[in-house]
Amino acid sequence: LEVRDDARKFLSRLKNFQFAGRALRDPITKEPVVYTENLFVKFKDDLAAKACENLLNSEGLTIKRKLPFAKNAYFAEAVGRGLEVFEIANRLAEHSDVEASHPELIRERKFRAAHDRQWHLKRSIVNGQVVDAHANVVAAWPYATGTGVTIAVIDDGVDIDHVEFASAGKIVAPRDASIGTDDPRPKDPYANWDVYDDHGTACAGVACADGVDGASGVAPGASLMPIRLSSNLGSIEEAEAIYHAVSNGADVISCSWGPPDGEWWNASDPTHITPYDLPYSTMLALQHAVEQGRNGKGCVIVWAAGNGNESADLDGYASSPMVISVAACNDTGKRSVYSDFGESIWCAFPSGDTGHAPFGHPEPLTDGIWTTDRSNTAGYNPGRQFDWEPTPQGDEAGNYTSTFGGTSSSTPGVAGLAALLLEREPDLTWQEVKDRLRMSCKVIDSAGGNYDSNGHSPYYGYGRPDALALLEISPTPRGRLPAAPVADDLAAVRAEADRLFSTLKRPSAFSRSIASRRPTVRRFSQFDPDHKAASMWLQMGLHLAKDSSGGSEVERLRAVLGFAGRHMRRVDPESVRHALSIFVTHDPLGRLLSPPRAVHRSPSRFSPSSTARGTIAPHPEIAMDYWREDALANEHHEHWHQVYPNQGILDEANAQAVLGPVGWQEVVNKFIASGDNFRVFNESLTGEELRALFVLNDRHGELFIYMHQQMLARYDAERRAVGLGPVEPLDLDTGEIDVGYQPSAEVMLATGFGGRPANTTLEENDRSALKSWTLDLEEAIENGVPDTATGALRPLNLETFGRGIEATDARQTASVDLSGLGNLHNVGHGVISNLSGPAGGVMSSTETAIRDPAFWRWHKLIDNLAADFQTQQPPFIYDDRPPVVFANGSADFGLVRLPLGHDGVERDAVEAALSGLGDDHDLGGGLLDIGSGLTLERSLLTYFKEREQEIPAPEEGLSIPSAPQTIRYLAHEPFGYAMRVLNTAPAAVTCTFRVFLCPTDRSGTARNWIEMDKFVRNLGPGLNVLFQADAASSVINKPAEDLADPISPSGPGETPGAICDCGWPYTLLVPRGDEGDGADYVVAVVVTDTNIDLVASDNSCGSMSFCGATDRYPDTREMGYPFSRPFASPVLDVISSEPQMVWSGIKILHASTAPASG
């Protein structure tokens, strides 16, 4: 002490020394701390400056300067007072006008630096070996260290007294979420043998250790919010911990925990295939974080993928789309042997590894990641006190460990990267941070990473992030590179919707039901009652997400897509896609999205089964494969069921109007109370609530019958061309299906469906149930169904019969009780699908069902029941006919052949040329003089064309050709209808022209007639000549598409939404003809009064006849009028006797190849 005091006195006398005081030591870090005779004093803001100065003077202090960054803040000195400066500071701090006062304490200033062994931050030499597999972090520090950004580490205890967390302001809002205190320190392991709180300190160090002594975090300038969480998985404390982070200003949240990992070395460990759902409370907390955190920009949440060498997609935590799922890569830039994998992996960050000879996996170059450990003997590294003790795995003092690893270490590393970025660009949203991370990633292990065409690897996500690239900094310190142009917000949201639709793969064998949580190999089927209920639950969630987000249209759409994305991993993704498809089809806001069409989203599902024909017995039905497997026909069937879903369309406005605010809130409460159990929600709804909430589209039941009846009429007409008779209905007396169906390998890979062998038979119980429901429907046709009010039997009508036969929910029909009619249509699809094996067959999906010959037999049975109903209706009497006449009979009708390349002719020009032919010219022949060589005929031409279709890369175990497939499809020469009609009224009239087609030998049966078009014309008094091109047909998806052309990726129409994706394919508008003399067909034109019909004008896209153009079906007459009922006399006789109708025989020719000009 004498030497110390003598030294102080000596130094004080030196000219260049102002003060020499005692050396102090920090009681925690043990490092030296020097006090000066200076003080910092902050007075209350409302105190006058003179009063502040007087108080400082009263303590004998000299004001050195008034500080500019805070009001009434002073830097003062107490010259010659030595240690008394502490007493002065204490006295001032106790004064009522002083907010804070403390002496100036000075520590040695160290530059933040990476430890030599922190190879994950920079190129390093470890154990004598160069390790160059880092994230380029040190190179980014001249530009950002995370200053001003707070990282919340939710983990076990964190040693907040560690020297690396001791800087001023480092610790922010500490919390122990499990105990409920503000002390996140590790707890005594001897007090609770289940608690060993070593993990959190190491994680926090990787993220943001100061780097002042032995280890730096990725973001050493960031603040740390340590949140201790020792509760078990699924506890409410999980959600509370996340909520604490958000509420206290966390910018980034790092979670290196999750469900139990399987033994990574043991392929038979059942844990590998055990799904773990994200608890709803935790999901809501995550949703709160991304929606409300950072003042609405969203907290960036980083989650460890897992260490079980298993699919992270089964982990509801790591696979949530609200988080960044991080895998581990090692010190050679390869996958760490234990790291989880899957579609949900976003990126991989350097971490430890271990060798494993059975896998051929080499030993790593390093022990692992060097990071902070609990101080002294606690933690992973107890240090070494004596030379004879083992070499420590870290430093000798025990404050650092060299063996940290797993995705636990990778995750806070990425959290640190996010902090670096947010220091530079604090206004980025969480999604933008996530995307910037993706763009910064460098491809590693290109040979073994199995990267797809989007640059995604199941092992590394988009690769290993590069910190310098993340900050968009040039390699030399010259500032930022020019920012890349950012797409507009709506375009970005549409891109996210495309991703949700397009990245759906074949569902895992362990996709989960929302309620049961039991593994299932069944993919989503709209025909399954439970799956339908799940879709309704998801629709409700999508609408509530839209409503709860507020803000702009883009923000609300992001909320919708966020909800959809969160549930992609919790349920079969197909169920989410189905619910989202209905939302974007019907919701006005959802229609701003244009999801990719099925033919773009999953082209493999439209691969022809010809590649698999050797696996089933030959059968004549194979001749119809080209038609059943037509890509656009399958797309039509799928999309019709989205436009007219049998669960109804969620209509929140209707529900609020019908139920009132209180009733609507009761429905919302039922949804919330159901948790994630869709059955509970569905069954809790009353009939009134269900009808108000899930509204069936206008004339849903009638159109279900008509659309499928029209498909069957076309199918039977096509069969005639290949020498087959009309399809026979499935025989429920035997349940036998003689024809098999084997999907191609591409379809099996894309869907998981199996094939159905020939000569299968329905299970007896299934056949019996279907037979019983058929008899119930026949009885209902004969006798009616109960009135819901009185119980008396009431006759069915087209709408109620259609609902009953499709089996919509009986509660959705208020007038009559349909509950006794069973579930014929939907269950039929399911039991036929069951014949294809445990995974089901194509009959279970609306997207693929029509490929199977059994579909047509099943629907012929359905159609026969509908025909039984319709034939009991009285014939039409046509007493509302308009004042128009086809004066010359069939001579007033003809077909205008439009040679290829001339299908864009103007309607006015053709009509003018037709008028020039004379009033009595037979429109069945002649040349139109309009400079384009158009001819009048009574014939059409069909032919086959070919197109190339790309297929997926080969997959092990499946025989998939590696070259594009050539697909043959039917097409026709463009044409138009020519008509001449006399308006006998003195004034103009508006009329609807209904055009039908039928094979001549089947024209006596009404349901064989095929609707070809329905259009409106205003007719002036006297003779009118009309032309209507086939491309304007009301039954096709418009604008007309030819498969030889590039198919529009998001619907052929310019207007997004249902109408533009719904309609029969233009290429299949005309049934296949015969070579040689051609096939005999009859065309009929029926004219009706538009003022009675209320038919809408032409719409630019979609099929008015099959899909409707508005919320109300645009025609008041029965669908298919007048062929929806029996005729009083032979069909052609009735048409001949009615002046407003005309028929004409035509030929449909067929060429084996397309015309040369095509």
According to DSSP, residue 313 is labeled G
Interatomic CA distance for residues 784 and 781, integer angstroms: 6
356 strand-pairing partners: 361
Say whether 115 is catalytic.
no
Task: Collect all residues with Cβ–Cβ distance below 8 Å to 713 and sequence separation of at least 6.
Answer: 998, 1007, 1008, 1009, 1010
Buried b (16+ CB within 10 A) or exposed e, 820-830: ebbbbbbbbbb
Interatomic CA distance for residues 1025 and 1140, integer angstroms: 15
- Token pair listed for 600: 């773009």
The sign of the CA dihedral 713, 715, 719, 722 is: positive
Residue 1139 contacts residue 882 (beta carbons within 8 Å): no
Say whether 445 is catalytic.
no
> Kind of pairing, strands 62-66 and 32-43?
unpaired
The sign of the CA dihedral 1131, 1136, 1139, 1143 is: positive
- Identity (one letter) of the amino acid at 914? L
1089 strand-pairing partners: 991
SS3 content of the chain, % helix, strand, coil (to 5): 35, 20, 45
Say whether 674 is catalytic.
no
Residue 302 contacts residue 461 (beta carbons within 8 Å): no
Element (H, E) at 869: helix 853-870
Task: Collect all residues with Cβ–Cβ distance below 8 Å to 95 and sequence separation of at least 6.
Answer: 55
- Residue among 223, 408, 549, 744 flagged as catalytic: 408
Picking from 1107, 976, 1095, the residue whose alpha carbon sits closest to that of residue 1038 is 1107
Picking from 1083, 1138, 1087, the residue whose alpha carbon sits closest to that of residue 924 is 1083
Picking from 566, 557, 497, the residue whose alpha carbon sits closest to that of residue 321 is 566
- Residue among 115, 162, 199, 567 flagged as catalytic: 199
Beta-strand runs (E) in 925-1040: 926-928, 934-937, 939-949, 965-972, 975-983, 989-999, 1010-1019, 1022-1029
Interatomic CA distance for residues 237 and 219, integer angstroms: 27
Interatomic CA distance for residues 1006 and 1011, integer angstroms: 11
Using alpha carbons only, give the angle 734, 735, 739 rounded to the nearest 5 degrees.
115
Interatomic CA distance for residues 235 and 258, integer angstroms: 12
The reply to whether omega before 961 is within 30° of 0 (cis) is no
Phi-psi region of 815 (alpha: psi -120 to 50; beta: other; left: phi over 0): alpha
- Identity (one letter) of the amino acid at 508? S
- Residue among 101, 120, 134, 155 flagged as catalytic: 155
* The 345-350 sheet, strands edge to edge: 175-176, 223-228, 150-155, 252-255, 300-304, 324-329, 345-350
Name the residues annotated as catalytic.
155, 199, 408
